[in-house]
Amino acid sequence: MLRNLATLFRYRGLIQSLVSRELKARYRGSALGFFWSFINPLMLLLVYSFVFSYVMPASKDERVAPFALFMFCGILPWTWFSSSLIESSGVLISGGNLIKKVLFPAEILPIVTVLSNMVHFFFGLVVLAGFLVYYQRPLSLTELAIFPLAVAIQLVLTLGFALLLSALTVHFRDLRDILSNLLTFWFFATPIIYPYFLFEDPANPGHEVWQAQLLKLNPFTHLAITYQEILFFNGPVGHLPWLLVLGVISIVFFFFGYFVFDRLRDTFAEEV
């Protein structure tokens, strides 16, 4: 397994080429091309702003105002995560012609999927940065230094899920349908459309209710809170210790996902 993992570095040129091809294919034939990578998150943020300002006004809690911007700080990385998992679940099946080539490393396909969605995440950050400036949300150097760490941990965690799901879906095709429903539940079980501090005990400020303990079992909770603390809230990134713990877990999970992928590798060509 480690030998196969080490050889991936030799294919970095191929990975870069496939990521570029994937990005070009996504907008091929459209008039605006890559500009949709900026327009889509911009429109999404404008829709959130309209809905939560006029259609269904959010809570008056000033700590999450403007609410649309607060929510967008969590939805942007969630979109990278969920899109990568959904696309990775079927990437080996759709890329069967490549897998059947003897010298082609199959793990490149889910890796390319995750990396291409990460590029779209970075495009969305440009739009988010503009609105942070508009709403006068300054970022400290400390927060900016932690942001790449959060992105790196999410990348490792997402790659672990992508490798695991892509390998298992080849044998269990129903996983793709289950995954869409599971991700819907996962989204609402993550403090993205609601702030984490709602789960503090009102009778004992600073103490959490039992629901908060359940939320901590969700790995994306720690990513969402970290992004919110970096990009939205003023003050130190208090969730950093939890992020570091998640970083260790993500590395272990990545190796587990790659282990399962490597064990099932020889069956891919036959099943797809």
Domain ranges of the chain: 2-271
Task: Give me the residues paired with residue 200 across strands.
Answer: 208
Position 67 confidence tier, pLDDT thresholds 50, 70, 90: confident
Q: What is the pLDDT of residue 53?
A: 65
* 15 in Cβ contact with 108 (< 8 Å): yes
pTM (whole model) above 0.85:
yes
For 176, the token pair is 């793709």
Nearest CA to 16 out of 96, 116, 84 is that of: 116
Percentage of the chain exceeding pLDDT 90:
35
pLDDT digits (tens, 9 = 90+) for 170-212: 888 888 889 989 999 999 999 988 888 777 655 565 556 667 6
Q: Which residue is associated with the tokens 């459309």?
A: 193
Amino acid symbol at 216: K
* 224 in Cβ contact with 190 (< 8 Å): yes
| C-beta atoms surrounding 149 within 10 Å | 16
Q: How far apart are CA 164 and CA 258, in angstroms?
A: 7
Q: How far apart are CA 269 and CA 106, in angstroms?
A: 10
Q: How far apart are CA 165 and CA 175, in angstroms?
A: 8
The average pLDDT across 144-166 equals: 94
Q: Which residue is associated with the tokens 């006004």?
A: 57
pLDDT digits (tens, 9 = 90+) for 86-103: 999 888 888 767 776 667
Helical H runs in 173-209? 175-188
Q: Which residue is associated with the tokens 């396909």?
A: 109
For 36, the token pair is 């949709």
Q: How far apart are CA 193 and CA 228, in angstroms?
A: 11
Average pLDDT of the chain, as a whole number: 83
Q: How far apart are CA 236 and CA 240, in angstroms?
A: 9
Which is higher by pLDDT, 58 or 124?
124
Question: Among 27-36, 51-60, 116-125, 247-256, which range has the highest average pLDDT?
Answer: 247-256
- Does the pLDDT of residue 58 top 80, yes or no? no
In this structure, of 24-33, 68-77, 133-142, the range with the lowest mean pLDDT score is 24-33
Non-local (6+) Cβ contacts of 126 within 8 A are 38
**Distances in whole angstroms, Cα of residue 120 to Cα of each of 112, 170, 182, 199, 266:** 13, 26, 23, 32, 32
Q: At what angle are helices 67-88 and 36-50 packed, to 10 degrees?
A: 130
Q: What is the largest CA-CA distance in the chain?
A: 64
